[in-house]
A and B are shown apart, each in its own frame.
Chain A
Amino acid sequence: MASATRPLAAILAANAYPLSVASAVFIIAVGLPSADPDTYWQVAMGRWMLDHRELLHQDVFSSTVPGAHFGIGEWLGEIALAASFNIAGWAGIAVLRAGLIAIASYFLVRLARRGGTPWWISLPLIVAALLVSKITWTDRPQLFTLALFPAVLVLLFSLSPGFSRRLLFLPPIFLIWSDLHSGYPLGLFVVAIFAAESMLTNGRRGLPLVVTAIACVAVTFLNPAPIDFAGAARESVLHPPRFLVEFLPPDVVTPAGALFAGFVMLVIGSAMLRGGSLREAMLLAPLLYLALTAQRHMLFFCFAASAFLGPRLNPLPRWRSFELPVPVRLPVAIALFVAALGSIVSAPVRPDDRAYPAGALEALRADSGVLLNEYDWGGYLIFNLPERPVFVDGSYVQYLNGVLDDYRALVGLRPGWQGLLEKYTVRELLLQPQRPLAVALREDGWQVRAADSQGRWIVLARP
């Protein structure tokens, strides 16, 4: 009995810090209401798949591309979201989100603590990296990548040259990851980098990791549509859709962008002064490029950089003893863990729908033909007004065949807008009142069926 409790105590003591941070982050994350426009259509797709017990291969929500084939990427992630919703409503989604972010935090702490980095150096790095990642704390399958990326990194860093049983964990992780979210190629890329570095550094002793990397790639082809997945990931890197805020390049005059810039400057400055390693260069250089392509990718660089910055910013050995003793750490961790469990009851039971046209739903419920809706509100309508097919929504890929361009031309009142209005036989509009199209059609006599008192939305109907 004593021999069994000692390891358990040791494990708990060693994990007290990451557990504390993960619990604290869970408490914060679980209290945030759902607000992302894409959550709605992701949950709707998941529910459709659960209801029909089949994968959703084609569009069933829009009036513009009905029946169009689209990639079934993220099907498992969508089902997980829908299942959470079916079990506990919006609170279930909040708990799932908080859990995944807590997992990410746990492994992030493990990364930042590499090399025995003291907490007072690692904690600021962890907090900064989590703040950078905040942009992805949305209720979407990308949360799975947020959790799995640092987990895989921790696993890779823990490997020693040659064969290790831990290698066996990697293929199953990628088997699941590739069904959860299209961010898994990033994980494959990281595994490939570690494999290449291991070969360069350790010669034949790097072969097991190379074989494992090949196996990881192979298992991703076991998902229902591997090409769709890889294609979506490639497009988001090479041709990021800049009309989406999260795909804009990092802006360093925003808080998250400034923190990201801080990481970049810290990595470069500290490496110039203290040097780095081939592994660090091979890992961080591509991740930095990826981060520069879109702000939603910043976190990957920051997470990975934490693993190197901690040891390099540890120049004051005499301060290393400034650690919380185990008798303090452990109770704190347990208390926070219990508090995190307790915080589940505080999960919001309603989404934050202030940015959406909730007041317009009644006016739109009666089917009056094709509805032209604001892009950001498509998901909301899919979820809350399933009887009205949308013109466009946040699952933008299937609209890239011209519908999205037509949508922009319409709402932006570009030349030919009247022809497009007829082409799609638009009968009603749900737009922001300041859209040029809304302004023009009001002047042209379209009827105002409903309007928000605060000027956030307007429903116009063809006279």
Chain B
Amino acid sequence: MDRPGATVTRAFSWSLPLFAGGIFGALSTLATIGDPDLFWHLAQGRQTVTEGLARVDSFSWSVNGLPVLTDQWLGQAIWYEAYAALGWNGIILLRALLVAATVTLIVAAALTAQRRPIVAVVAALPAIGLSRFAWTERPQLMGLLCFAALILLLRASAERPRLLMAVPVLIVVWANLHASFALGLGVTAIFCGELWLRRPDARALAVGVVAVSIAATLLTPSGVSIWTSASGHFLSPPRVIQEEGVPDVTQPYGMVFAFVLLAVLSTAMLSRPTVLRDVALIVPVLFVSMTAARHTPFFAVASVPYLAGHAPEAISAIASRLGINVRLPAFAPRVPSLRIDLATAAIALAVVIAAGFIARGEPNLSPYPSGALSSLPPGPGVVNDYDWGGFLIWYAPATPVFIDGRLFPYTGDALRDYETLVSLGPTWRDVLARRGARALLVKPGSPVAVRARDLRWPIVTESATYVLFIVPNSR
């Protein structure tokens, strides 16, 4: 029998979620590292660990000394500690552990709604597949893990509301890891609103959890300004960045997102009506996921329990219309013992750790201007491509960057000047002179590189990936 409202009880086994987590955690080690933002996150983490939390920029020459966001300080420090302990393999291992934990929680959430293991895993697969696009070496992955934990927690608390008291603890950790905590807080507030309506005896708890969770978000070094990054991403996503672009269903990740969305839509229409809390957990997250490509995994994760519980019924409805007799076998609960769970956890952990150590640790630097590092002039004056800023912060600390993936510190004059330069705006020469640029490290196909080559500016070094020009007559 399906039990969509079922919660984590003693009849629940973690073996299957841990098994799935171990597999996907190990698989994640096959992906090389090299996300453009990894490097500046590591640099900031190192700065936090070794010098304390920096509240002003010290990596660039365009916004040097101006305030920077500190909203991901804990996540950055953890990533750096992993690197400090085990080098690049530490990064791979940490990523694998985070992936394993996320997948474990996703499958566990599916099992709260669907006790047939195979059905639960199948329902979780699209979300796991979509989360693949968030398996980056950044605090963002920790945010996804927190979200998966929140969904499981909220589902479990539907029948045991006291579990909600763990939410503020999760929120306070999350707020120090990544700005996606705002989504968690929003979902919690909506869920508690539903609880307030449904359970008069739990109203004080619902209000208290929301209030304490809000207060918990202020327990970060950023204080109230922690909301700056979250609201900036949500209300005005910087579309120039690919992952902040509108979800595109003609791309692979978009196809998976569309599949999940259409599966939820079809399931809603063809299965029995569900309870309001399922709607509260899915529909608001859908809107957030539609705002930007990077947010699409949230909806997939949130909808897993609903799909696990209701999709079989929808499929049966379609099959019966087609005259196909589909019947799931009756489920005979044989829950493994706690020892089996512990053994599975140990094996999964061992597999993930082993895979992390075996994996090729060196980052993939082919998209970056590695060959130009030795030719970079030290000190300010190098205008670099946006995508390479983090790389330069990490690998060429003596040459401060003009811009990098942190983006928000540059919003305003610096970003405008950068766009004028690389796109050869009418005032590009004025910008060069006003900024005192001495060199350009840009992609060969960019308009400014083409123009500089036409003008026969001296080239220090170049490849198919990059070209380093000296700006004539610069100081």
A413 B424 Cβ-Cβ under 8 A: yes
Interface size in chain A (residues, C-beta < 8 A): 46
User: Residues of A contacting B276 with CB < 8 Å?
Assistant: 273
Minimal Cβ-Cβ distance residue in B for A254: B246
- Considering only residues 264-291 of chain A, those with a C-beta below 8 Å from chain B are 264-265, 267-269, 271-278, 280-281, 284-285, 288-289
> Within the assembled complex, what's the spacing in Å between the Cα atoms of A429 and B206?
65
B474 on interface, CB distance cutoff 8 Å: no
User: Residues of B contacting A249 with CB < 8 Å?
Assistant: 246-249, 254
A89 on interface, CB distance cutoff 8 Å: no
A439 on interface, CB distance cutoff 8 Å: yes
User: Residues of A contacting B273 with CB < 8 Å?
Assistant: 272-275
- Considering only residues 256-306 of chain B, those with a C-beta below 8 Å from chain A are 258, 261-262, 264-266, 268-274, 276, 278-279, 282-283, 286-287, 290-291, 306
Q: A275-B269, A281-B266 given as contacts; is B246 within 8 A of A436 (CB)?
A: no
CB A97 to nearest CB in B, in angstroms, measures 28
User: Residues of B contacting A433 with CB < 8 Å?
Assistant: 426
- Considering only residues 2-23 of chain B, those with a C-beta below 8 Å from chain A are none
B258 A289 Cβ-Cβ under 8 A: yes
B247 A292 Cβ-Cβ under 8 A: yes
Q: A201-B321, A253-B291 given as contacts; is B268 within 8 A of A265 (CB)?
A: no
- Complex partner residue of B262 from A240, A242, A285, CB under 8 angstroms: A285
CB B282 to nearest CB in A, in angstroms, measures 7
Minimal Cβ-Cβ distance residue in B for A275: B273
B265 A267 Cβ-Cβ under 8 A: yes
Minimal Cβ-Cβ distance residue in B for A265: B283
B246 A272 Cβ-Cβ under 8 A: no
Interface size class for chain B?
35 or more
Quick check: which of B343-351, B361-369, B444-452 contacts chain A, the rest being far away?
B444-452
B170 on interface, CB distance cutoff 8 Å: no
User: Residues of B contacting A418 with CB < 8 Å?
Assistant: 454
A269 B283 Cβ-Cβ under 8 A: yes
B269 A276 Cβ-Cβ under 8 A: yes
> Within the assembled complex, what's the spacing in Å between the Cα atoms of A417 and B450?
9
Minimal Cβ-Cβ distance residue in B for A444: B454
A253 B235 Cβ-Cβ under 8 A: yes
Q: A264-B286, A436-B447, A440-B424 given as contacts; is B265 within 8 A of A284 (CB)?
A: yes
A317 on interface, CB distance cutoff 8 Å: no
> Within the assembled complex, what's the spacing in Å between the Cα atoms of A417 and B445?
11
CB A274 to nearest CB in B, in angstroms, measures 6
Mask, B450-462, CB within 8 Å of A = 1, is 1100100000000
A116 on interface, CB distance cutoff 8 Å: no
A261 on interface, CB distance cutoff 8 Å: yes
B133 on interface, CB distance cutoff 8 Å: no
> Within the assembled complex, what's the spacing in Å between the Cα atoms of A252 and B290?
7
B375 on interface, CB distance cutoff 8 Å: no
- Complex partner residue of A276 from B237, B270, B445, CB under 8 angstroms: B270
> Within the assembled complex, what's the spacing in Å between the Cα atoms of A397 and B278?
46
Minimal Cβ-Cβ distance residue in B for A289: B258
A415 B250 Cβ-Cβ under 8 A: no
Q: A269-B279, A272-B282, A415-B450 given as contacts; is B445 within 8 A of A278 (CB)?
A: no
> Within the assembled complex, what's the spacing in Å between the Cα atoms of A242 and B282?
29
CB A115 to nearest CB in B, in angstroms, measures 16
CB B277 to nearest CB in A, in angstroms, measures 11
User: Residues of A contacting B261 with CB < 8 Å?
Assistant: 264, 288, 292
User: Residues of A contacting B447 with CB < 8 Å?
Assistant: 412-414, 436
User: Residues of A contacting B266 with CB < 8 Å?
Assistant: 281, 285
User: Residues of A contacting B278 with CB < 8 Å?
Assistant: 272
User: Residues of A contacting B230 with CB < 8 Å?
Assistant: none
> Within the assembled complex, what's the spacing in Å between the Cα atoms of A288 and B272?
22
Residue of B235, B264, B291 ringed by the most chain A CB atoms within 10 A = B291
Residue of B261, B268, B318, B454 ringed by the most chain A CB atoms within 10 A = B268
Minimal Cβ-Cβ distance residue in A for B290: A252
B250 A261 Cβ-Cβ under 8 A: no
A251 B268 Cβ-Cβ under 8 A: no
A239 on interface, CB distance cutoff 8 Å: yes
A183 on interface, CB distance cutoff 8 Å: no
Mask, A285-305, CB within 8 Å of B = 1, is 100110011000000000000
A447 on interface, CB distance cutoff 8 Å: no
> Within the assembled complex, what's the spacing in Å between the Cα atoms of A417 and B451?
10
User: Residues of B contacting A261 with CB < 8 Å?
Assistant: 286-287, 290
A33 on interface, CB distance cutoff 8 Å: no
User: Residues of A contacting B274 with CB < 8 Å?
Assistant: 272-273
> Within the assembled complex, what's the spacing in Å between the Cα atoms of A276 and B264?
12
- Considering only residues 290-338 of chain A, those with a C-beta below 8 Å from chain B are 292-293
B425 on interface, CB distance cutoff 8 Å: yes
A250 on interface, CB distance cutoff 8 Å: yes
> Within the assembled complex, what's the spacing in Å between the Cα atoms of A285 and B408?
38
CB A310 to nearest CB in B, in angstroms, measures 16
> Within the assembled complex, what's the spacing in Å between the Cα atoms of A457 and B274?
58
> Within the assembled complex, what's the spacing in Å between the Cα atoms of A288 and B257?
12
A200 B321 Cβ-Cβ under 8 A: yes
CB A21 to nearest CB in B, in angstroms, measures 28
CB B386 to nearest CB in A, in angstroms, measures 17
B214 on interface, CB distance cutoff 8 Å: no
- Complex partner residue of B445 from A281, A414, A438, CB under 8 angstroms: A414
A434 on interface, CB distance cutoff 8 Å: yes
A426 on interface, CB distance cutoff 8 Å: no
> Within the assembled complex, what's the spacing in Å between the Cα atoms of A285 and B264?
10
B450 A281 Cβ-Cβ under 8 A: no
Q: A436-B424, A440-B451 given as contacts; is B237 within 8 A of A271 (CB)?
A: no
B426 A439 Cβ-Cβ under 8 A: yes
B268 A272 Cβ-Cβ under 8 A: yes
A49 on interface, CB distance cutoff 8 Å: no
B451 A436 Cβ-Cβ under 8 A: yes
> Within the assembled complex, what's the spacing in Å between the Cα atoms of A178 and B317?
35
A281 B269 Cβ-Cβ under 8 A: yes
- Complex partner residue of B444 from A273, A274, A413, A415, CB under 8 angstroms: A415
User: Residues of A contacting B287 with CB < 8 Å?
Assistant: 252, 261, 265
- Considering only residues 211-248 of chain B, those with a C-beta below 8 Å from chain A are 235-237, 239, 246-248
A248 on interface, CB distance cutoff 8 Å: yes
> Within the assembled complex, what's the spacing in Å between the Cα atoms of A239 and B272?
37
> Within the assembled complex, what's the spacing in Å between the Cα atoms of A253 and B262?
21
User: Residues of B contacting A269 with CB < 8 Å?
Assistant: 279, 282-283
B204 on interface, CB distance cutoff 8 Å: no
Residue of A240, A251, A288, A292 ringed by the most chain B CB atoms within 10 A = A292
Chain B residues at the A interface, C-beta cutoff of 8 Å? 235-237, 239, 246-250, 254, 258, 261-262, 264-266, 268-274, 276, 278-279, 282-283, 286-287, 290-291, 306, 317-318, 321-322, 423-426, 428, 444-445, 447, 450-451, 454
- Top 6 A-B pairs, shortest CB-CB distance: A276-B269, A271-B268, A436-B424, A436-B447, A413-B447, A281-B269
Extra inter-chain contacts (14) besides given A249-B247, A412-B447, CB under 8 Å: A238-B250, A252-B246, A253-B291, A264-B261, A267-B265, A268-B282, A271-B269, A272-B274, A272-B283, A273-B276, A274-B273, A276-B269, A278-B318, A439-B425
